[in-house]
Chains A and B, each alone.
Chain A
Amino acid sequence: MDFTFSPQHAALRRMLRDFCQQELRPRAAQVDHTGQPDREILRWMGELGLFGVPFSQEYGGAGAGEIGYCILMEELNRVCPSTAAIIGAHIGIAAMSLYLDGSPALKRKYLPDLCAGRAIGAFGLTEPNAGSDAAAIQLRATLEGDAYFLDGQKMWITNGPIADLVMVLAVTDPALGAHGGATVFVVETNTAGFSAGKPEKKMGLHGSPTSVLNFDDVRVPKENVLGQVGLGFVTFMKTLDIGRVSLGAATLGGAEAALQASLRWVKARSQFGRPIANMQSIQFMLADMATEIEALRSLVYRTAWLVDTDRPFVKEAGMCKLLGSETASRCIDRALQIHGALGVSREFHIERGWRDARIGEIFEGTNEIQRIVIASELLQEIGVRIRP
């Protein structure tokens, strides 16, 4: 067994740590206050190849694999969860679905722009009547001649208002429904009939715009079918499986930031004549945080290694998202408690971290859905098949 990172992954982390601490951290509060993504830093990140970290260099990616991508998400989320959410939706689910199942021609057409950050991607699955029950989607795609026409609505789509390309799951055969009758399309957002709604007002991730997407007879050429007609649901579920690993890595970064802030504060703050680090109840919180973080780190990077070495990883990926989001929520909640009144101050970053972390338990499959995924994998191992 070898738990060390390869020299190139260590070098990648060094660069990311420097970039995030020096360039991204100073802008994180502003991004949250204004609710505006920082276009300048996104452009810079594109130039540094951060929009295509896991993908092969053949398509303009960095070729750093799932491990490299997890390092990116961990470092981003440590300082600016809003920016991490933008990149997570862009790479982890939008570009990833194209990378996994797109034809070489479609990949050549769109991946280089996605990897360079010249085009921002979004992943359109959720609809007003299809949340956890993703198979209940209704957005219709009808074939007329050499193009499909899309009609319907998507909801809660990260990057919706800023996306250039949206991967959309639509029903192509209502008789079959999602299982066998749904198809993924790459939609250019400047196409007539497409519009994005106003950003939702969320408790956290203010700098990561999420919105409704409206499709009013949007024409999509046949060549923009991603993967096979009818098998789109499989593509999207596969994509979400992988996405859970990097989401776990992001939550790891959030939890680590909470612990680091706490360690600084317990040393600096004195009450009853001594630093609060001397109080056992504080020490126990620190010990619990550090222990959970260490467990999460092992799980996340081992699962990333499973992905990079083509081993089965679906059960572990669900665990990454489940353990990660709950660990991050617990850690930032303890950090808030440790900071006392400063913890709830809007002038300080703990409150922002607390708001940002909670969303991790909801999106990309609620934690209830993760438990279902993990249980169904477990039961399948003993020959029992379940349906949610």
Chain B
Amino acid sequence: MNIVVLLRALRDPASFSVNRRAQKIFVHRDLHRLNPADHNALEAALALAGASAGGSVAALACGGEPAGEALYQARAMGAGRALWVKDEALQPADGAVVTRVVQQALARLGGADLVLLGADVLDADLAQVGPRLAAAQGWPFVEAGYRVRAAPASQGRLQVVLAKPGGYQAVEIGLPAVVSIAVDSNKPRYPSAPSIMRAYADLQALDVVSPAELGLDQAALAARVDRLGESFPPERTFGERLEGTLGDVVAQLAARLQR
């Protein structure tokens, strides 16, 4: 099974702060990390490939240097290949553009039986790429998978377990398919120290291409969404403190709950 996992690097939440009064983001350090749900998708991909004979994992990311770093991390964790569509402008690109890039990149990777990606993204969280890609390819899509494994009974199909309120649901899909992976659904492995050093020492660790090399022109890369600015809702105020004797407090609480 050839698995392609889509990775996205984003600003480390520890590296900036949001000042709501000034309506501004202050970046303290230039620090990025892998989107947490993508980290889980990568682990799911590596575990699935490890469990199936002849399974392979290729990691794919588009954007500037942080995307490249995410791919080195994937190689160090065990992904056999990595494709970096290198273009600074792609970082904040919208779902439609990313989908086009991914489609072309999949062709370059020689196709895929399964595409995995994080179910949500910490910064934008539009959750568009998964369904858009599936629609564009004409493949099935499952959102927020908790576990993925080869379907126990039927060859060439995949079983995806979804977390539902109060329990789990298992669905089976045919391949090729796109599955987004829920955040915290697994514990990603740590890359070993030697594998980190080896990944960076390997000059062929990443296959680096420009969007143009994938046959994408400016028109294909033009964003569909205009970014007008940022707005931060005010900080939530703390709850109310009820005062008085126990009886008073209970009565007040009951009155509020009835409202």
Contacts from A to B (Cβ < 8 Å): 6-8, 11-12, 14-15, 18-19, 47-50, 52-53, 57, 61-64, 68, 72
Contacts and interface: CB of A to CB of B under 8 A. Distances in A.
B190 interface: yes
B72 A49 contact: no
Contacts of B198: 57, 63
A193 B200 CA distance: 47
A11 B190 contact: no
Nearest to A7: B200
B193 A47 contact: no
Given A8-B201, A48-B193, 18 more contacts: A7-B69, A11-B72, A11-B76, A12-B193, A14-B33, A14-B73, A15-B76, A15-B190, A15-B196, A49-B194, A50-B193, A61-B194, A62-B193, A63-B194, A63-B197, A63-B198, A64-B197, A68-B197
Contacts of B196: 8, 11-12, 15, 62
Interface in B179-210: 190-201
Interface of B: 33, 69, 72-73, 76, 190-201
B201 to A, nearest CB: 8
Contacts of A64: 193, 197
Given A7-B72, A11-B69, A11-B76, A57 B193 contact: no
Contacts of A15: 76, 190-191, 193, 196
Given A11-B76, A57-B198, A49 B192 contact: yes
Contacts of A6: 200
A9 B69 CA distance: 12
A49 B191 CA distance: 9
A206 to B, nearest CB: 26
| Nearest 7 CB-CB pairings of A with B | A62-B193, A8-B200, A49-B193, A49-B192, A62-B194, A49-B194, A48-B192
A205 B192 CA distance: 26
B192 A11 contact: no
A15 B193 CA distance: 8
5 contacts: A12-B193, A18-B190, A57-B194, A62-B196, A68-B193
Contacts of B193: 12, 15, 48-50, 52-53, 62, 64, 68, 72
A11 B73 contact: yes
A61 B73 CA distance: 19
A63 B195 CA distance: 10
Q: Which of A11, A52, A61 has the most CB of B within 10 A?
A: A11
B159 to A, nearest CB: 29
Contacts of B33: 14
B76 to A, nearest CB: 7
A208 B202 CA distance: 37
Contacts of B197: 8, 12, 57, 62-64, 68
Contacts of A11: 69, 72-73, 76, 191, 196, 199-200
Contact of A48 (B73, B190, B199, B201): B190
A229 B109 CA distance: 58
Nearest to A64: B197
